Amino acid sequence: MGTYLNPGKIGFAKISKGDYVDKTGLIGLINEKIDGPNSLVCISRPRRFGKSYAAKMLCAYYDFTCDSHDLFQDKEIAKAESYRRHLNKYHVISLDITGFISKLKSDEPISDVPAIIVTALHDELISLYPELAEAKDLSDCLIQCVRKTGRQFVFVIDEWDALIREAKDDRKTQDAYLRLLRGWFKNNNFTPEVVAAAYMTGILPIRKDGSQSAISDFAEYPILDPGRFAEYTGFTVEEVRYLCEKHKLSFKKARFWYDGYDFPEVGSIYNPYSIMEAIDKGRFASYWKNTSDAESLLTYINMDFDGLQQVTVRLISGEEISVDVGRFKNDFNTFKSRDDILTLLIHLGYLSYNHEKKSVHIPNEEVRLEFDEILTSQNISRKWVELIRESQKLLSDTISEDEEAVAKGIEAVRKKEYAPTFYNDEQALRYVIKFAYIACVGQYAKIEELPSGRGIADVVYIPKKLSHLPALLIELKWNKTADAAISQIENNDYPTVLKEFEGEILMVGIGYDEKSKEHTCKIKRLVRQACIRT
């Protein structure tokens, strides 16, 4: 058993203990491609979506130096016709490119990584088969190994694009790395004889400009369109529900915190890392954000292509934004429009893409907290500062029950260039309200269309723990008065939804008259006695 050559089954054996969610069906999809015209597969996913776990699983299954039957006999893959035909039948080359980068010594430049990879593989091959020492280079060594043993290689490359990202301004290093990949996967004298299959994972798909032609023969399954690999992108609804029931956690809360990545083929997908962290710690919180880089997110947003900052505020307020994902070049450098950056944020996991609507939204509470931090950043633009200041005044006027000021404040927000562009129904009014009260982010938990009493409250802001702010119960009326909105709140007994909360509740009615083009506001304060904060 080696480090990079035939690493064995230990990695997967550790993973498969305890609460392992069976994703071995992925192996069946790779088996279908072995020795076929599409045997090269490239999977791109955000960080912490189980890419490394899948890599260890594939290594354990294909590696001929171990017997992995005990690990797979009770798994989904064991039901597949191809199961025994490929189980432990190949040499495996397993490379984690981030590992090579992190192991560089202080005096070693990143340009050394391609050569270090070659040396590491060559040394392990010679250690296993000393008679191959006469081979002229690594490629020849691999060819001679196949001829000697009668076994082809399965390549499993984790974070293949890490070197491209880290050496983004170093074309020489990138070219050296791509030449290495070209020698393995685009060589008519090498690839058919040596490579049974290749499975590569990374964050971004292959670049569209042809600069990564060394891997252009790979069939791609990106987060935008994972196809048959969709259910292996993360945890499905059924898998999360099972885990929550097993560990006596609220599935409803799990949905609130981690749901939101949706694919037509399988429905909702959850971030595996966050779910398992919640199970391990026994509570729901933001775990994924600790593995991300909020400063990078702010850097992209501060580029402000085509009003990106204003669009970000609309996303934070809960709106969906149309996006054209087709022109993105699949890199971290070439941005020509707002859509390019929004598409990048999909690949990074910050946004979820709706295929049918061709739009993006913030997927869940966990990611929303990452965006919320931007609003309190010291590096946000003046426009953002002005918007937040106006929203804070609106919140203050609401709490002070200054109805005229609230109506004027909402009208002022509606006329802003970065507010929702349409204004023709109650849904549009709801967008404006959420946008106007953006200052509530961080202080309140916002709930939309909350069932209560005999109807559904439009927008409810519930103060978070230790807050002395009142709850806001907002009802919206298009072409009706604010008084009518208050009457609906009272007649339908909407405040019952907050019966568990102690302290004050502000019932806020907002009306808009399409003919007069004016907003009206009515506020009534309700004092409740008993209860808890969220």
Full-model pTM:
0.79
Kindly state the percentage of the chain with pLDDT values over 90. 47
Contact indicator for 367, 238 with CB cutoff of 8 Å:
no
* CA 287 – CA 269 distance, rounded (Å): 16
Domain boundaries, the chain: 10-222, 234-285, 292-380, 416-528
φ, ψ dihedrals at 465, nearest 5°? -55, 145
**Nearest in space to 461 (alpha carbons), one of 507, 426, 418, 500:** 507
Helix axes 308-316, 426-436, angle to 10 degrees: 100
pLDDT in tens, 488-525: 888 877 666 677 677 788 999 998 888 888 899 999 98
State which fold the 292-380 domain adopts.
Answer: Arc Repressor Mutant, subunit A (1.10.10)
**Distance between CA atoms of residues 153 and 139, nearest Å:** 12
Tell me what the pLDDT averaged over the chain comes to. 85
pLDDT of residue 71: 96
Q: Bin 361: left if φ > 0, else alpha if -120 < ψ < 50, else beta.
A: beta
Q: What is the pLDDT of residues 464-494, one digit of tens each?
A: 766 678 888 888 888 888 999 898 888 877 6
CATH number of 10-222: 3.40.50
Q: Which of 6, 330, 325, 298 is nearest to 152 (CA)?
A: 6
Model confidence pLDDT, tens digit, residues 211-249? 777 788 899 999 999 999 999 999 999 999 999 999 999
The phi and psi torsions of 63 (rounded to 5 degrees) equal: -65, 120
Q: How far apart are CA 101 and CA 111, in angstroms?
A: 10
Of the CATH numbers 3.40.50, 3.90.550, 3.40.1350, 3.30.70, which one belongs to the domain with range 416-528? Answer: 3.40.1350
Q: Count Cβ atoms within 10 A of the Cβ of residue 394 and give its class: 0-12 exposed, 13-18 middle, 19 or more buried.
A: buried
Residue 314 has pLDDT above 80, yes or no: no
* 422-454 tens-digit pLDDT: 555 667 677 778 777 877 766 777 665 555 444
Under the banding of pLDDT at 50, 70 and 90, the label for residue 377 is: low
pLDDT band at 532 (very low <50, low <70, confident <90, very high): very low
